[in-house]
Structure 1
Amino acid sequence: MASLLKNWLPAFTKNARDNSLLWRLLRDSIPEHKTKYFVAILAMIVVAGTTASTAWLMGEIVDAMTDTGNRARVYWVAGAVALTFMAKGIASFAQAVLMARAGNRIVAEKQTTLYNRLLKQGVGFFSTTESSDILMRVTNSAQRARMVIDTIVTSVVRDTLTLIGLICVMIYQQPVLSIVSLVVGPVALWGVQKILARVRDVMKQELKSLAEIIKVVQETSTGVRVIKTFALEGVMRDRMDQAVRSVERRNNKIVRLENATAPLMDTITGLAIASVVVLSSVNLFGGEPSSPGQLMSFVTAFLMAYEPAKRLMRMRVKIEHGMVGVRLMFELLDKPITLHEAENPVVLADGPGHVTFDNVGFSYTDGKSIIRDMTLDFPAGKTTALVGPSGGGKSTILNLILRLYDPQEGSIRIDDVDIREASFASLREKISYVGQDTFLFSSSVAENIRIARPDATDDEVVSAARIAHADEFIRDMPKGYQTKIGENGAFLSGGQRQRLAIARAVLKDAPILVLDEATSALDANSEALVKSALDQVTQGKTTIVVAHRLSTVIHADQICYLEDGRVVEQGTRDELLSKGEKFRDLYEMQLLE
């Protein structure tokens, strides 16, 4: 089967790259489901055989009906017809069910494979790739891949064998008329070639428009407050309308192109049948005239051959339609992984959580240096605050510690182990994170807290919530800890979301705690509660804090003032106020005023 398909590939696509992708798709998908496909192919062979038998039996039916005195022949023909249609029905059912089950499994596998590939990517990949494009590739491309496989398998087996069987019946019954009627094929193929060139370009534009629809819906969902506040309903409506109409226009073009073979085939077939009717009345080569049954069998086979021939003519159009999605799927699968785990990763042992930067240099994709030759020590069990103007590299330092990115120069070590040599799992266990933009899942309060440690008991979840000053508002909710909080905690206030994030960090109880502007977006009352919670959480932890509000970090064990990717001042508050300039200016501006 595999070698047969590989030999047929040039007939399906027009260039070597598409042939390679198509072979890769078949090689990756069919072997795992070979049993289902094998039985489905056997069923297709039965369908093809019974279809050809039906055309042949039509001649027997006509001859038997004109020879009513021969009852044995009538009974034989009637039984053969009944058995033929019964076998065809059972085989068609088996083929449809098995192909559907294999196809659905392939879609599920491809979507899982695509998602697992996404999980392996670093943050840099998601920073440069639009989520709407990712969604379209994961959801749409897998469906297109299944469509391509189904089209190829059914065309290679069912339609081809059916057509061959019917042509054999035609030639057996009427050799001369068969030669005349087979002129249809080359003319129809010429018409299909003209159609294929336009399908690829139309499909590329259609998928771009689908991605735009997804993008508009995402932006409407996440940015509804901004849309309402700035009265952007009309703008968003126009964007959606334009994208929807674009998809509609291209879908209409695709339908028109896919079905353009129908009038071509109908016209040519009609002319061929008319020619057959005329020629059937003329005995060109003399000899015995054809019986009514022979003519009926020939005409039936010819008419029945029309549908598989039409499907085969449209096959390349359908494959070209689906190959655009297959290309997009493999483009995503073949994207280089932006962050790799070491081949033989080290499991970080239990330790105090001492973090050090040793001559670290880092830049994002634009090549501009964000961190420059930085050597910095984060003492175990102490709190280090990172302050300074925006763009100084504070959040980048946190990203590097979390190993969301890798530095281009130098190394970052935790308890004297380079984090690039550490396993992802043990590194994540070492660090808790609370950010400014808290992300919550659309599940219950308890589930959102428990993701920090899935094996935690209910009592441990409640204890963590109490430390984070979240227990009181949780118990006031309709179902307490089992209350659903909506997409990204939509039913909660900013302070409540932040306290749930802190509760997660408490439950995880990691030796290193990373805080990125954890109180910057809160009101005074919420900030006071969150600060109180953080004071308890940070006890005995290696805490690294990014903050613009000095009031939240003024009592840190160490304060580092960053500017232009460098540490320009470092020390305690009193040391920096006595000998520093940058920090003292910031302190006087924020606190003394």
Structure 2
Amino acid sequence: MLAKLLPGIEEKLLYRLLSENYQAQAKWYALAILSMFFVAGTTAASAWIMKDIVQSLSPDEPAYKVYGVAMAVAAIFAVKGIAGYLQAVFLSIAGNRIIASQQIKMFDRLIQQGVSYFGSKSSSDTLVSLTQASQAARAVLDTVLLSFVRDLFTLIGLGFVMFTQQPVLSAVSIVTIPVALFGIKNLLKKVRDIVTREMVSLSAIIKVATETSMGIRVIKAFALEDHMAARMNQAVTRVEKMSNSIARLQAATMPMMDVLSGLAIAAILAMSATTIFGGRVVTSQGQLLSFLTALIMAYDPARRLASMRIGIETGLVGVKMMYDLLDHPITMLESENAKPLPEGPRQVAFRNVSFNYEGGNGETVLKSLDLEFAAGKSTALVGPSGSGKSTILNLTMRLYDPTDGQVEIDGMDIRDVTFASLRENMAFVGQDTFLFAGSVKHNIGLGRADATDDEIIAAAKAANAHDFISKLPEGYESDVGENGGNLSGGQRQRLSIARAILRDAPILLLDEATSALDAESEAEIQKALHDLSQGRTTILIAHRLSSVMRADQIIVVKDGEILEQGTPAELLKNENFFKRSYDLQYDM
């Protein structure tokens, strides 16, 4: 039905939205539709009763008829008011449930995506999809329901009153309908294009706001306030212009309908004094008043129906964004036959592994690597920036899958391991420390869900963090701020290390874990990490070679290939990359 009444709209998209959400909220929409029937019926009844009002006011009518008409009027408007209230409440319950459920679905889909997805998508676009798109879905559903139930049945009821009271004048008034539909059709393409550009501009606003929040220190240090303000002004101005354009197009239906309605009423009034086939078109004042009331009351639902397509086209832009996110293929899938890691020593091995990032410059990051990270031993990855060290850790955590070859733990391809089991066996500390909103205790406790307060404090002490935590205004309950903004870089790093210590996983991955610490703190943390790594399979990356001298094995990586490997003592015996780097650092 919608495809026939609304040609040109993306019917599949609309049908999917309706079928998924109307069915899910069937109870509330059924109650809303029932209320709409009462609204439509009482609206038509309020026009119909105008004839009785005029007749009851005749001097010849007895008083009890006047009282009866008065009670009927009161009853009609009371029922209409209650039905309108219930309609609004039921629609709001269903609409808010739709927004919440769609946002949950989108976030669930988002969190299932692999890291590569987030590298290819702008965070501002994602935020727009999570917020604006779900609102657009509700708006489309409400528009369809209100137009095809309340407004359509109201018009049918009022049309019945009009044709019953004055069939000739009703036929004349229908002439305006094709003219209105033709005018609306020409507005649709412009609306769709403008709304698409508006969404892009909204994304730009979020992007500037996010960059300002995350990079405020750089903005202040380089006096970029005016630059950022200009970018925000530009983005906001674009949205303002788009919004004004949409408002003008949506409002364009109003003067068009006003003119057409005015012409129709004027023509009807003129015809009311006309005689056809020897008889007057209008037979009584009561009938004429009832007809005119119905005609005037039909204006609003007719206008809403006429502009319905514009509202739907506007909302479908956001709906498409929502389904683009929901339908995007999962970039990192768990195998259908995935199994937990069996008990084992937790040796990590790379078997002929090659890798290049999707969407990169096409250059291979790792080239046919064969590596073994001995179980219960620590292995340090050393090499120039961009050599592939962090990529090795990413593949070990299965944030990405190898382009060729396989990564194994105890001989088992990690692509055949459940995500939960893989994550449970690993703890990670990166150079880009990330803290979540909440308290210090909350952030450390994320390392293990069942950790006690004493275990959290013990982990903090092992990470040399307990002293500074104790000096915070609320101790372990102190709020860390957005991404740890209330703490220094070194303090954030210590909490990250405490979180890894609490994890107590058999595989420990460290990517420049002490990069944000001063020399004294680094020495203390290095001792804590050394103690933590005992008996664990540890893979660490460090540019400061003092951090790797306690490692059982050092692997030098350059341009995605193994340049050299051995114990620290073995590598220092020969003139090689590691020895030259060591001498450069210690001669400074």
Please report the TM-score for the alignment, with normalisation by the length of structure 1. 0.97
Name the SS for the 1:102 alignment partner.
helix
Q: CA deviation at 1:192?
A: 0.5
> 1:375 aligns to what?
370
Matched, 1:20 2:12: yes
- Residue-by-residue CA offset, 1:9-35 (whole Å, 9 max, x unaligned): 3433514xx110111111111111111
Identity of aligned residues (%): 53
Matched, 1:467 2:462: yes
Name the SS for the 2:276 alignment partner.
coil
Moved more, 60-69 or 285-294: 285-294
Q: CA deviation at 1:533?
A: 2.2
Name the SS for the 2:259 alignment partner.
helix
Of 320, 341, 353 in structure 2, the residue corresponding to residue 348 of structure 1 is 341
> 2:79 aligns to what?
87
Distance of 2:420 and 2:498 partners within structure 1: 21
> 1:304 aligns to what?
297
Q: Is the contact made by 2:381 and 2:541 (CA closer than 8 Å) also made in structure 1?
A: yes
Q: CA deviation at 1:520?
A: 2.2
Name the SS for the 1:42 alignment partner.
helix
**1:157-306 → structure 2 map (5 Å cutoff):** 157-287=149-279, 289-306=282-299
**1:443-458 → structure 2 map (5 Å cutoff):** 443-458=438-453
> 2:472 aligns to what?
477
Distance of 2:347 and 2:90 partners within structure 1: 58
> 1:415 aligns to what?
410
Matched, 1:322 2:315: yes
Q: Is the contact made by 1:561 and 1:570 (CA closer than 8 Å) also made in structure 2?
A: yes
Q: CA deviation at 1:101?
A: 0.3
Which residue identity does 2:99 align to in structure 1? V
Q: CA deviation at 1:113?
A: 0.4
Which residue identity does 2:6 align to in structure 1? F
Distance of 2:373 and 2:575 partners within structure 1: 20
Q: CA deviation at 1:285?
A: 3.3
Name the SS for the 1:560 alignment partner.
strand
Distance of 1:580 and 1:426 partners within structure 2: 43
Unaligned runs of 5+ in 2: none
Q: Is the contact made by 1:467 and 1:536 (CA closer than 8 Å) also made in structure 2?
A: no
Q: Is the contact made by 2:493 and 2:516 (CA closer than 8 Å) also made in structure 1?
A: no
Q: Is the contact made by 2:497 and 2:513 (CA closer than 8 Å) also made in structure 1?
A: no
Distance of 1:68 and 1:50 partners within structure 2: 28
Distance of 1:295 and 1:21 partners within structure 2: 45
- Residue-by-residue CA offset, 1:288-346 (whole Å, 9 max, x unaligned): 65111000000000000000000001100111110100111111111111100011210
> 2:28 aligns to what?
36
Matched, 1:399 2:394: yes
> 1:3 aligns to what?
none
Q: Is the contact made by 1:10 and 1:19 (CA closer than 8 Å) also made in structure 2?
A: no
Which residue identity does 1:554 align to in structure 2? M
Q: CA deviation at 1:78?
A: 1.5
Distance of 2:5 and 2:376 partners within structure 1: 68
Which residue identity does 1:219 align to in structure 2? E
Q: CA deviation at 1:547?
A: 1.0
Distance of 2:438 and 2:86 partners within structure 1: 41
Which residue identity does 1:12 align to in structure 2? L
Which residue identity does 1:282 align to in structure 2? T
| Count of paired positions | 585
Q: CA deviation at 1:241?
A: 0.3
- Residue-by-residue CA offset, 1:417-442 (whole Å, 9 max, x unaligned): 11101100010000000000110012
Matched, 1:520 2:512: no
> 1:359 aligns to what?
352
Name the SS for the 1:492 alignment partner.
coil
Matched, 1:389 2:381: no
Which residue identity does 1:351 align to in structure 2? G
Q: Is the contact made by 2:2 and 2:11 (CA closer than 8 Å) also made in structure 1?
A: no
> 2:524 aligns to what?
529
Of 8, 13, 16 in structure 1, the residue corresponding to residue 2 of structure 2 is 8
Q: CA deviation at 1:67?
A: 4.6
Name the SS for the 2:375 alignment partner.
coil
Q: Is the contact made by 1:551 and 1:591 (CA closer than 8 Å) also made in structure 2?
A: no
Q: Is the contact made by 1:387 and 1:547 (CA closer than 8 Å) also made in structure 2?
A: yes
**Could you say if the C-alpha distance between residues 71 and 586 of structure 1 is closer, same or farther in structure 2, counting changes exceeding 3 Å?**
same
- Residue-by-residue CA offset, 1:459-518 (whole Å, 9 max, x unaligned): 111111111111111111111111111111111111111111111111110000000011
Which residue identity does 1:489 align to in structure 2? G
**1:69-108 → structure 2 map (5 Å cutoff):** 69-108=61-100
> 1:440 aligns to what?
435
Of 335, 338, 344 in structure 1, the residue corresponding to residue 328 of structure 2 is 335
Which residue identity does 1:176 align to in structure 2? V
Which residue identity does 2:104 align to in structure 1? T
Name the SS for the 1:30 alignment partner.
helix
Name the SS for the 1:369 alignment partner.
coil
Moved more, 385-394 or 344-353: 344-353
**Could you say if the C-alpha distance between residues 13 and 582 of structure 1 is closer, same or farther in structure 2, counting changes exceeding 3 Å?**
farther
Distance of 1:68 and 1:74 partners within structure 2: 11
Distance of 1:532 and 1:103 partners within structure 2: 56
Q: CA deviation at 1:352?
A: 2.2
Which residue identity does 2:90 align to in structure 1? L
Matched, 1:567 2:567: no
> 1:131 aligns to what?
123
Which residue identity does 1:322 align to in structure 2? G
Q: Is the contact made by 1:384 and 1:543 (CA closer than 8 Å) also made in structure 2?
A: yes
Q: CA deviation at 1:568?
A: 1.4
**1:419-434 → structure 2 map (5 Å cutoff):** 419-434=414-429
Which residue identity does 1:9 align to in structure 2? A
Name the SS for the 2:427 alignment partner.
strand
Name the SS for the 2:366 alignment partner.
strand
Unaligned runs of 5+ in 1: 1-6
Q: CA deviation at 1:287?
A: 3.6
Distance of 1:372 and 1:94 partners within structure 2: 66
Q: Is the contact made by 1:9 and 1:23 (CA closer than 8 Å) also made in structure 2?
A: no
Q: CA deviation at 1:519?
A: 1.7
Q: CA deviation at 1:349?
A: 2.5
Q: Is the contact made by 1:9 and 1:22 (CA closer than 8 Å) also made in structure 2?
A: no
Name the SS for the 2:275 alignment partner.
coil
Q: Is the contact made by 2:208 and 2:231 (CA closer than 8 Å) also made in structure 1?
A: yes
> 1:539 aligns to what?
534
Moved more, 294-303 or 345-354: 345-354
- Residue-by-residue CA offset, 1:234-292 (whole Å, 9 max, x unaligned): 11010000000110011000100001000000011111111111100112233465111
> 1:4 aligns to what?
none
- Residue-by-residue CA offset, 1:85-111 (whole Å, 9 max, x unaligned): 111111111111000000000000000
Which residue identity does 1:405 align to in structure 2? Y
Q: Is the contact made by 1:68 and 1:74 (CA closer than 8 Å) also made in structure 2?
A: no
Distance of 1:68 and 1:516 partners within structure 2: 98
**Could you say if the C-alpha distance between residues 568 and 65 of structure 1 is closer, same or farther in structure 2, counting changes exceeding 3 Å?**
same
Q: Is the contact made by 2:351 and 2:406 (CA closer than 8 Å) also made in structure 1?
A: yes
Matched, 1:588 2:583: yes
Please report the TM-score for the alignment, with normalisation by the length of structure 2. 0.98
Which residue identity does 2:144 align to in structure 1? I
